[in-house]
Amino acid sequence: MPSRALGEFEQLILLALVALPPEECYGVPIRELIEQRTGRALSAGAVYTALDRLTARGFVSSALGEPTAERGGRRKRMYHLETAGARELARSVRTLQGMSEGLLPQLELRLAGTTARSSGKRR
């Protein structure tokens, strides 16, 4: 497996695994946490697609959990953040943080400028 930087969505999933208590590290809470914090809607299938990729890269591991009545008697798959995953996530977050340090105000300014210029062009 060639090493490749984490995608944005993969970062979100890994961050969710950090945030959630171990007994809630499965599909539904992961998805709900991401939806709550980012405001974007996900499909249940998309979460698993990403988790599959992360499993294949050894960043997370999983085991089948206990069935519950709430799920119509079906089992959960519980996920666990592996050290390799934690390391990769930390690196990826630090990279972004380091690079973006102090740049956000400037970025906002740039965006404000773009709107002004493009509306100016229209006139």
Q: Does 84 bind another protein (CB under 8 A)?
A: no
30: tokens are: 């992961």
Identify residue 123 by its one-letter amino acid code: R
Contacts of 19 (CB under 8 A, 6+ apart): 33
Residues 6+ apart with CB under 8 A from 115: none
Helices 27-38 & 44-56 angle (0-180, nearest 10): 110
- In the complex with another protein, the residue whose CB is nearer, 75 or 91, is 75
Smallest gap from Cβ 92 to another protein, in A, equals 22
Amino acid code (one letter) for 21: P
How many residues bind another protein (CB under 8 A)? The answer is 23
> With respect to another protein, which residue has the nearer C-beta, 24 or 93?
24
Binding positions for another protein, 29-48, rule CB under 8 A: 31-32, 43-46, 48
Is the separation of the CB atoms in 103 and 75 below 8 Å? no
**Shortest CB 32 distance to another protein, Å:** 8
Binding region for another protein (CB under 8 A): 26-28, 31-32, 43-46, 48-49, 52, 64, 67-72, 74-77
